[in-house]
Chain A
């Protein structure tokens, strides 16, 4: 068994920042990551980091934009923390040597982004995430922080008190990809989950293949509530064949969207008469699909994004990476022709419920980055607001876990105080179907004992699970199950949602669960067994797909990225509240807690969201 003060799971922007922060506080910290740090998906981020750096700008304006962008489902204390801390965290990256693009006077460059009232997106060409990830990894190397790379975390070691609020996280169980060994990692102070996105729940996504929502699913099964899962961001400009992202920077720099008839539809059909292409992502995604559904799409599938008029020099200076992507993945030369684009899954606004210090309701368990929901993005994330989230909340979680005194959080976590139980009207039985008796499953909790004993117990259970999977010599392969869920989610729980489709998806997920009882791993090798790991990931995909769909079915209103055919308006009287889902021994419980709209100096009154 390995032992450290703080264990960070995941080595993307959030995990690296958390580890550096814990180290700053003097903790013995280690990172456990299924990918080597520089392979993390943060490297794919293109557009930039929002930070109010200029005199004419202010964190208050940034917070206002963020609350409005969230369609009033973000919690003001979290959004304000993000906007207040982002400038100094962004400049910290600069001090660490990050290669930002520069203005004539040598300052870091900023550009306009959708939904922002000031051009405050700080960037490094169209490869901001790559520069950020590598800069932060360099700092990790400098500090000699221990990384267990290619170790796949499969389970949390959490004690089993009745109420999640009384539980403690003592460590994790991880699978060494190279050797097949399963080992325990005891965390004396805390575990920070920074496992990133969950795009693989869908079959058309900008996310990496490794983004299977492991952290969210593990925390959920250990009893931690997961929040606002129905809010999935679809990015309006992804390449149709692969889902590879064409940065919002293209529209920020002046790129124009056209339909098949060559009309600039954002204005022509009144989708966003002021902001046009720069309206927020949910608005543009719906506009594009409406065009396609109205028969004005190209090949009935996509629209065109044109940047030719920006001129070669500007494109090469600020969007060079986009030229490569369009060329390599779609065979289109962005300098001479428009690029085909359509909406694709991009970001999960929801995730593990945390407060603004990164802590969950389980003692010693933290989450930061895309897997967490603090909640800063509410119903819709503004472009350029995720990277600041990584550094701001990554740092806070790291500090907190390492024992630094933090200001009390204003956001409460867990089923305490003001919450409301919900009725679930589900067409199928939800959650566990005997998983655990046959194959992989974890109720999360294990019997209370000393910290190390508890971790050891979790290790033993995990070894058994994996043994059982490897012993089974026939059945269904994970790829089949995964594909079914991905297809159903893309068909039924996409940009446009209807009751019937959502119910269909729940049925499909249920069926996939039953198939999963029979899953088997053909590869029996202990060495680098990706067949086994993907089988374990598929389990996470099932739980997450269900959470997204269930939340979406229950929320009968239209807010941010969540559009319902039957309810095409925002219903503030009833729905200014967060959806939470708790996994109580395999039986998902849906409940709600109010949104906090009171900020430090003002209350963000919900207004009609127009761009």
Chain B
């Protein structure tokens, strides 16, 4: 069915010191394993055949370590379709039934852990949130662009995390109430204002879609700027802190790099109005009379 990665040929282990009883048991085990595997493959093939609705996936493969996979390529998988199936479901099916070495990050299956952002049919999406039925075939699945590929669909996230951490991504306030049971009051309007910005799941789709980030490795990028927005606009943080945040954002590789191309806003699976937030911060920076780059 699929283009399998050729298995590295392994030496038969030497059987000198193994008792005949054990050899026999091992032989039986091997036979059973083979039977089960064949059954499974046959079932998978049967399902893929009998179902009119079979989805054709073209999946990017690369592994720096396995000689056969060092040259990047695309593998074809045919996955039987079930109502409601997502790109992630299809990848899992392909992995569990055809090629267990197919590698991708995933966990929650419900668009909240942010680990399965992929490049699907040419745009950044969460695998778990993308219905196969919305996509044209063959469904082309690649790792996020502008990031180093670790293996198959897994990319290196370090740079993204570094940028997130560069904006002092934690709440800072000087006016905590004294009592450990006393809240800092916040108006509903203010909570509403920061609400969308707090929804970021660190998937990195926005960063991957951004031309500027692709060209300027130091650009903070939409997610980190949005993270800073989340605090800068929170009324509980106070004016002097806001000043400091604007200074961070206003540096050479901060908000002024954004050229309002909206690609980040388009791909964000949490519908965060990223470009708008960046624009608003630019206006705040001007109000504060800070420097342009």
A residues near B, CB below 8 A?
35-36, 38-41, 43-44, 53, 87-88, 91-92, 94-97, 99-108, 125, 127, 130-131, 134-135, 138-139, 141-142, 178, 208-210, 241-245, 324-325, 328-331, 471, 473-480, 483, 515, 517-518, 520-531
CB <8 Å contact, B36 and A480: yes
CB <8 Å contact, A209 and B106: yes
CB <8 Å contact, B66 and A102: no
CB <8 Å contact, B34 and A35: no
Interface membership of chain B positions 110-144, coded 1 if the CB is closer than 8 angstroms to chain A and 0 otherwise: 11111100000000000001010000000000000
CB <8 Å contact, A88 and B180: yes
CB <8 Å contact, A44 and B186: no
Q: 28 A–B contact pairs at CB < 8 A?
A: A38-B114, A43-B112, A43-B201, A97-B237, A99-B194, A100-B191, A102-B187, A102-B188, A103-B188, A108-B183, A127-B112, A135-B171, A141-B165, A209-B107, A210-B107, A242-B84, A471-B10, A471-B13, A473-B7, A474-B33, A479-B97, A518-B29, A518-B30, A524-B8, A525-B63, A527-B150, A528-B103, A530-B104
CB <8 Å contact, A99 and B191: yes
Interface membership of chain B positions 198-236, coded 1 if the CB is closer than 8 angstroms to chain A and 0 otherwise: 110110000000000000000000000000000100101
B75 to chain A, nearest CB (A): 14
Chain A residues with CB below 8 A from B24, complex form: none
A105–B113 Cα gap in the complex (Å)? 33
CB <8 Å contact, A97 and B114: no
Known A-B contacts A99-B195, A138-B170, A480-B40; A518 and B33 likewise in contact (beta carbons under 8 Å): yes
CB <8 Å contact, B10 and A473: yes
Q: Give the A-B contact count at a CB cut-off of 8 A.
A: 185
CB <8 Å contact, B112 and A44: yes
Known A-B contacts A91-B180, A527-B63; A329 and B110 likewise in contact (beta carbons under 8 Å): yes
Closest to B176 in A: A95
B157 to chain A, nearest CB (A): 7
Chain A residues with CB below 8 A from B115, complex form: 35-36, 39
* Selected contact of A523 from candidates B83, B101, B113, B114, CB within 8 Å: B101
* Selected contact of B109 from candidates A39, A139, A208, A529, CB within 8 Å: A208
CB <8 Å contact, B181 and A528: no
Cβ < 8 Å to A, chain B residues 1-55: 7-8, 10, 13, 29-30, 32-34, 36-37, 40
Chain A residues with CB below 8 A from B287, complex form: none
Does B169 sit at the interface, judged by CB under 8 A? yes
Known A-B contacts A178-B150, A473-B7; A106 and B185 likewise in contact (beta carbons under 8 Å): yes
Chain B residues with CB below 8 A from A531, complex form: 100-101, 103
Does B184 sit at the interface, judged by CB under 8 A? yes
CB <8 Å contact, A330 and B36: no
A517–B112 Cα gap in the complex (Å)? 36
Does B182 sit at the interface, judged by CB under 8 A? yes
CB <8 Å contact, A138 and B169: yes
Chain B residues with CB below 8 A from A241, complex form: 83-84
* Selected contact of B84 from candidates A91, A141, A330, CB within 8 Å: A330
Beyond the given A473-B7, A522-B7, A525-B66, could you list 9 further A-B residue pairs with CB under 8 A, ordered by the A residue number? A41-B108, A44-B110, A44-B113, A101-B191, A134-B198, A476-B36, A476-B37, A521-B100, A523-B100
Known A-B contacts A96-B171, A474-B33, A531-B100; A53 and B181 likewise in contact (beta carbons under 8 Å): yes
CB <8 Å contact, B191 and A131: no
A556–B180 Cα gap in the complex (Å)? 46
- Dominant secondary structure at the B interface: loop
CB <8 Å contact, B185 and A105: yes
CB <8 Å contact, B113 and A35: yes
CB <8 Å contact, B29 and A475: yes
Centre residue among B129, B154, B198, B202 by max chain A CB count within 10 A? B198
Does B65 sit at the interface, judged by CB under 8 A? yes
A44–B111 Cα gap in the complex (Å)? 9
B241 to chain A, nearest CB (A): 11
Does B239 sit at the interface, judged by CB under 8 A? no
A30–B201 Cα gap in the complex (Å)? 23
CB <8 Å contact, A95 and B37: no
A209–B128 Cα gap in the complex (Å)? 12
CB <8 Å contact, A244 and B180: no
Chain B residues with CB below 8 A from A523, complex form: 100-101, 103
A483–B129 Cα gap in the complex (Å)? 23
CB <8 Å contact, B113 and A208: yes
CB <8 Å contact, A106 and B170: no
CB <8 Å contact, A142 and B170: yes
CB <8 Å contact, B180 and A477: no
A448 to chain B, nearest CB (A): 31
Chain A residues with CB below 8 A from B161, complex form: 36
B73 to chain A, nearest CB (A): 15
Known A-B contacts A99-B191, A141-B169, A328-B129; A87 and B181 likewise in contact (beta carbons under 8 Å): yes
A172–B230 Cα gap in the complex (Å)? 37
Chain B residues with CB below 8 A from A142, complex form: 170
A120 to chain B, nearest CB (A): 14
Does B173 sit at the interface, judged by CB under 8 A? yes
A91 to chain B, nearest CB (A): 5
Chain B residues with CB below 8 A from A483, complex form: 96
CB <8 Å contact, B108 and A107: no
Chain B residues with CB below 8 A from A41, complex form: 107-108, 113
CB <8 Å contact, B183 and A527: no
Known A-B contacts A38-B201, A44-B108; A528 and B101 likewise in contact (beta carbons under 8 Å): no
Chain B residues with CB below 8 A from A517, complex form: 29
CB <8 Å contact, B170 and A38: no
Chain A residues with CB below 8 A from B66, complex form: 524-525
A275–B261 Cα gap in the complex (Å)? 52
